[in-house]
Amino acid sequence: MSLMNEIHYELRRQKLLSSLEEGVIILASASPQTRSNDTEYPYRQNSDFYYMCGFREDNSLLVLVKTKEFSKSILFVEPYNEEHALWNGSRLGVEKALEAFSVDEVYDIHTYSLLIKEILRDHIALYIDLFDDSSWILQAKKSAKELHETRGVKRHIKAMYDVTHLIRTQRLIKSHEEISEIKKAIDLTAKAHHKAMQISKLGMHEYELQAHMSYVFQSNGTQAESYGAIVAGGNNANTLHCVDNRDILRDGDLVLIDAACEWELYASDITRTFPVNGKFTEAQRDVYEKVLDVQLEIIKAMKPGVKRDWLQQYSEELLCQALIDLGILSGERKNLLEANAHKKYAPHGIGHWMGLDVHDPCPYVDDEGESLCFASGMVMTVEPGIYIRADDVTVEEKYRGIGIRIEDDILITETGYENLSSAIVKSVAEIEAMCKS
């Protein structure tokens, strides 16, 4: 059961509407995606749409109308249909949707193409996802054009705006309920990572660890994983998005696992790296502790007012220094940073917003292009990594093939931060103990 109730969605819609003088907002549900022939991927609702109304069915639309005198919310849904109920499950239908959702009006989606023209009449602004080329949006544009060409209609749509930017700015700050959903996702993800550490042994396949984690997720009622799991043994960890997960885990190798589940559509995103046989070699520990030190230092620096860009720059300085300390890079840190030498071994960013999407598409900069400052309620991952390819002969042999990332989910609070995933073991001693248990 989602912790969000109708009041939450109403407040979100009010807030969205308060940022415009007048106009019509159209938000479309996600389209089902074909997997092969006539089979589909499991359906996942569009996050912006879901954030504004909590409706989970496909083939639905949310239309918000604001004039100088009033505002109203309209949901378009698939009507209840016996045939569909038999084959694919029951839909809520128009009447029940009106009872269950706190919108002002609910209509059959099949009336949308007629009604949208009436809704747009006399409006001057349309707010849509500018990159949504669904038939719903095309229909709205067509209707706006027809109204332009209709005698007697005095006011026409004369501007189209991107509504996603407004919604995603709102999505930046998470409510208590949203944080609770994220925490629930992280709790299960913690169990799954600990399970993987406990059962890992040489000779297993990467997909076996993945299967044990998926079992934890699914047997606890999650509807989905937040992204395709990465279970990367040894040198596979040096391919950042290695989702093949079909190799054998070898003695003496590390395994990097970047896997996490959703809870009520809220994501978690966690990476841990541990030795397949439960014991770090000296070289692995040296690199691991450098990455961990960087991560702890970065997390410590997170608080309201700190710029996200500064954090990125600071993490690059720390990672560059770590590479110098390990003897992987040599030279002046300033010069190495200027030449981006560190990026060969630490190529990705320090973290990203997380929420309804694992990579929450909330803005990173303000309208002037200035980096946003952290504020209480924002959630960002912190995920430094050092990756040394097995064939990199410029690096001491003992380090070759080591790829390490450590990723936690951090909430900015009034006074600093809360590491939402602090219960997942991550020091060398904790990991070795967990692998033994």
Q: Give contact residues for ligand GLY (rule: CB under 6 A).
A: 227, 258, 269, 358, 383, 407
**Least separation in angstroms between CB 185 and ligand GLY:** 13
**Least separation in angstroms between CB 254 and ligand GLY:** 17
Q: Which is nearer to ligand GLY, 63 or 354 (CB)?
A: 354
Residue with structure tokens 């989970």?
Answer: 56
Q: Does 269 bind Mn ion (CB under 5 A)?
A: yes
Q: Which is nearer to Mn ion, 53 or 406 (CB)?
A: 406
**Least separation in angstroms between CB 90 and ligand GLY:** 34
Q: Which is nearer to ligand GLY, 64 or 404 (CB)?
A: 404
**Least separation in angstroms between CB 408 and ligand GLY:** 11
Q: Please give the Cα distance from 380 to 377 (Å, whole number).
A: 10
Whole-angstrom CA distances from 209 to 28, 194, 198, 212, 279 are 37, 11, 10, 5, 17
Collapse the DSSP code of 207 into the 3-class scheme (helix H, G, I; strand E, B; otherwise coil) and give the result.
Answer: helix
Whole-angstrom CA distances from 72 to 75, 100, 128, 253, 364 are 10, 17, 16, 59, 31
- Binding span for Mn ion by CB under 5 A among 90-98, 112-120, 257-265, 302-310: 257-265
**Least separation in angstroms between CB 213 and ligand GLY:** 13
Q: Does 253 bind Mn ion (CB under 5 A)?
A: no
Considering CB distances under 5 to 8 angstroms, the limit depending on partner class, which of Mn ion, ligand GLY, none binds residue 227? ligand GLY
Q: Which is nearer to ligand GLY, 29 or 381 (CB)?
A: 381
Collapse the DSSP code of 169 into the 3-class scheme (helix H, G, I; strand E, B; otherwise coil) and give the result.
Answer: helix
Considering CB distances under 5 to 8 angstroms, the limit depending on partner class, which of ligand GLY, Mn ion, none binds residue 222? none
Collapse the DSSP code of 267 into the 3-class scheme (helix H, G, I; strand E, B; otherwise coil) and give the result.
Answer: coil
What tokens appear for 352 in the block? 């990203």
Considering CB distances under 5 to 8 angstroms, the limit depending on partner class, which of ligand GLY, Mn ion, none binds residue 360? none
Q: Which is nearer to ligand GLY, 66 or 272 (CB)?
A: 272
Q: List, in sequence order, every residue forming a beta bridge with 36; answer none if it has no partner.
A: 39
Q: How many CA atoms lie within 13 A of 179 on its CB side?
A: 19
Considering CB distances under 5 to 8 angstroms, the limit depending on partner class, which of Mn ion, ligand GLY, none binds residue 29? none
In the region spanning residues 4 to 43, those forming contacts with Mn ion, defined by CB under 5 A, are: none
Considering CB distances under 5 to 8 angstroms, the limit depending on partner class, which of ligand GLY, Mn ion, none binds residue 408? none
Catalytic residues: 38, 241, 258, 269, 348, 352, 359, 383, 387, 405, 407
Which residue's CB comes closest to ligand GLY?
Answer: 258
Site string for Mn ion, 352-391 (x = CB under 5 A): -----------------------------x----------
Q: Which is nearer to ligand GLY, 58 or 383 (CB)?
A: 383
Q: Please give the Cα distance from 223 to 221 (Å, whole number).
A: 6
- CA angle 75–80–86, rounded 5-degree value: 140
Interstrand relation of 254-258 and 271-275 (parallel, antiparallel or unpaired) = antiparallel
What tokens appear for 119 in the block? 């809704």
Contacts with 99 (C-beta within 8 Å, 6 or more apart), sequence order: none
**Helix (H) / strand (E) containing 39:** strand 39-40
Q: Which is nearer to ligand GLY, 129 or 383 (CB)?
A: 383
Q: Which is nearer to ligand GLY, 132 or 258 (CB)?
A: 258
Classify the C-alpha dihedral 152-154-160-166 as positive or negative.
negative
Question: Is the distance from CB of 256 to CB of 403 less than 8 angstroms?
Answer: yes
From its phi and psi, is residue 415 left (phi > 0), alpha (psi between -120 and 50) or beta? alpha
Site string for Mn ion, 104-133 (x = CB under 5 A): ------------------------------
**Least separation in angstroms between CB 23 and ligand GLY:** 35
Residue with structure tokens 């939450």?
Answer: 8
Q: Does 408 bind Mn ion (CB under 5 A)?
A: no
**Least separation in angstroms between CB 258 and ligand GLY:** 5
Runs of H (alpha helix) within 34-111 = 47-53, 82-88, 93-100
In terms of Cα–Cα distance, which of 299, 304, 379, 385 is closest to 349?
Answer: 385
In terms of Cα–Cα distance, which of 404, 410, 409, 396 is closest to 431?
Answer: 404
Q: Enumerate binding residues for Mn ion (CB under 5 A).
A: 258, 269, 271, 381, 407
